[in-house]
Structure formats: C-alpha cells, structure tokens
C-alpha cells in the first residue's frame, strides 16, 4: 500500500480567491509546568481555501447539503484519475477527451466511484496572488463544458476533483457547479496536487473535512491510497 498526499498546505497569508479574512494561524496561550510545555493555537480561514471541498450548499444556500451532511460514501471511495495534461490552457475538455483518457487507464468508472481530473496546474499554484488572481496563469486551466458534465453524470460518480482552481470558466454559467454540485449533490474538490506522483490510475480516495455545521465548503486533507 502506498499513500500520496493530494493537499496543498494551508499557511498564514496564503493566496485566496474570495474576499474575506487573511488566512492566519497563531498561538493563543503558552502553558505548562516543570514537567511539560504546551501551546493553544487557533486559525482564521475562509472556507473555500487551498485544497477544499464544495458541498451542494455552496450553490444552493437554502436547501443544499452542507459539509457536515455529506455522506461518507462520497468522501471515501475509489476514484479514477484521468490524465488531461495535454489540454491547452482555457480549452474545453470534451467527451472525446474524457473517453480517450479513460481508455488509457484500462479502468472502468463504476457507479459510486470518484473521478480526478489531472490537468497539471498544481505546478502554478504558488504563482498567483489574491489581488490579481483573475489574470494569473493558475486560473487558465482547461475546463469542463456541458457535454463533459453530462458524461460524468451518466457515470453516476460520487465526487469530482481536479488540480486546478475550478472546473468551470466564466461567471454567468458554471455547469459543473450548477449541474453536478447543485442539482445532483456531487461534491467537488478543487486545488488538488501531486496527481503526477500517482503510479496507478485507480486509487482509494480519502477526503474528509471536519463536520462544520452549515458550511458550503471547507479545506480538506485529500489522500490517495494505492492498494
């Protein structure tokens, strides 16, 4: 068995996409005795930060499942990794692209499996800043359009992840978030990393966020287990 960490670090002052408090990790109190020393610490974070999971509430604030309601079966599941690193920046990932990448794996996507889209953008992760993120190279990943979303939906996937800022492009219409996440309750993990370090095309994905009641997303420690 081999394990690969698929999560970026969370650190003080790290870039973030949305307006909100600057990510900060700090010590609150030091205490101890002649026998030990201890520290109590805390952090201030926005929920959609670093490697994080989107729950349906992110795009359905009134009725969508929050992070604490996500079924464990969606968070611990086998996942097929599709290599789409050959796609040019800001080009649409087609059904043909997905089927070609799947054929190269010699694997099947079974109902309840996850799919991880490997576009290779994690190498650009530290090149962007919060103030100009829209112009950063990291934001120019290939994206999933309507046809690709319907293909994934037909596969009855449990969860979608990718090593990029988002699977959608543009602000007016976002089919991955609107169709997979909002309409069908399929969580999305954004900003994965180290997909290039995997040696197998089908892995056991473990991606467990804390049970934050009411949250539409939260940072997650995503791990791939090669069995």
Cβ 53 vs Cβ 191: under 8 Å: no
pTM of the model: 0.95
SS3 percent helix, strand, coil of the chain, rounded to 5, is 25, 30, 45
Cβ 50 vs Cβ 7: under 8 Å: yes
Q: Is 188 exposed, middle or buried (0-12, 13-18, 19+ CB in 10 A)?
A: buried
Would residue 143 count as lying in a domain? Answer: yes
Q: Which of 7, 55, 49, 4 is nearest to 24 (CA)?
A: 49
For residue 74, the SS3 value is helix
Cβ 109 vs Cβ 155: under 8 Å: yes
Rounded Cα distance, 37 and 45, in Å:
27
Tallying the residues shown for the chain, one arrives at 227
Would residue 36 count as lying in a domain? Answer: no
- For residues 20-27, give the mean pLDDT: 90
Would residue 133 count as lying in a domain? Answer: yes
Would residue 170 count as lying in a domain? Answer: yes
Would residue 42 count as lying in a domain? Answer: no
To the nearest 10 degrees (0 to 180), the angle between helices 146-154 and 95-105 is: 40
The residue to which tokens 């994080």 are assigned = 52
Count of domains observed in the chain: 1
Full domain range(s) for residue 190: 2-7+48-226
- For residues 92-101, give the mean pLDDT: 98
Averaged confidence pLDDT in the chain: 94
Dihedral angle of Cα 190, 195, 196, 201, to the nearest 10 degrees: -130
In the DSSP assignment, the letter for residue 94 is: P
Q: For the segment 101-150, what is each residue's pLDDT rounded down to a tens digit?
A: 999 999 999 999 999 999 999 999 887 766 667 778 888 999 999 999 99
Rounded Cα distance, 162 and 188, in Å:
8
Would residue 91 count as lying in a domain? Answer: yes
Which contiguous run of DSSP H or E holds residue 147? Answer: helix 146-154
Would residue 53 count as lying in a domain? Answer: yes
For residue 91, the SS3 value is coil
Q: What is the CATH number of the domain that holds 104?
A: 3.50.30.50
Would residue 147 count as lying in a domain? Answer: yes
pLDDT at site 131: 65
Q: For the segment 176-194, what is each residue's pLDDT rounded down to a tens digit?
A: 999 999 999 999 999 999 9
Pairing assessment for the beta strands 202-208 and 76-83 based on DSSP bridges: antiparallel
């Amino acid at each position: 068995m081999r394990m690969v960490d698929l999560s970026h670090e969370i650190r003080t002052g790290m870039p973030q996409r949305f307006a909100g408090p600057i990510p900060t990790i700090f010590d609150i109190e030091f205490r101890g005795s002649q026998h030990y020393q201890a520290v109590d610490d805390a952090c201030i974070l926005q929920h959609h930060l670093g490697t994080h999971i989107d729950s349906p509430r992110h795009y359905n604030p009134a009725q969508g499942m929050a992070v604490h309601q996500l079924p464990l079966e969606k968070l611990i599941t086998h996942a097929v990794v599709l290599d789409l690193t050959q796609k040019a920046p800001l080009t649409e990932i087609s059904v043909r692209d997905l089927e070609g990448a799947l054929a190269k794996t010699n694997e099947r996507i079974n109902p309840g499996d996850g799919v991880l889209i490997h576009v290779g953008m994690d190498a650009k992760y530290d090149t962007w800043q919060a103030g100009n993120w829209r112009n950063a190279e990291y934001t120019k990943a290939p994206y999933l359009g309507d046809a690709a979303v319907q293909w994934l939906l037909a596969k009855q996937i449990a969860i979608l992840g990718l090593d990029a800022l988002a699977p959608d492009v543009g602000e007016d219409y976002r089919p991955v978030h609107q169709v997979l996440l909002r309409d069908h309750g399929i969580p999305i993990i954004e900003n994965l990393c180290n997909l290039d370090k995997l040696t197998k095309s089908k892995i056991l994905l473990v991606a467990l966020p804390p049970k934050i009641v009411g949250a539409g997303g939260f940072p997650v420690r995503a791990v791939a287990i090669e069995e």
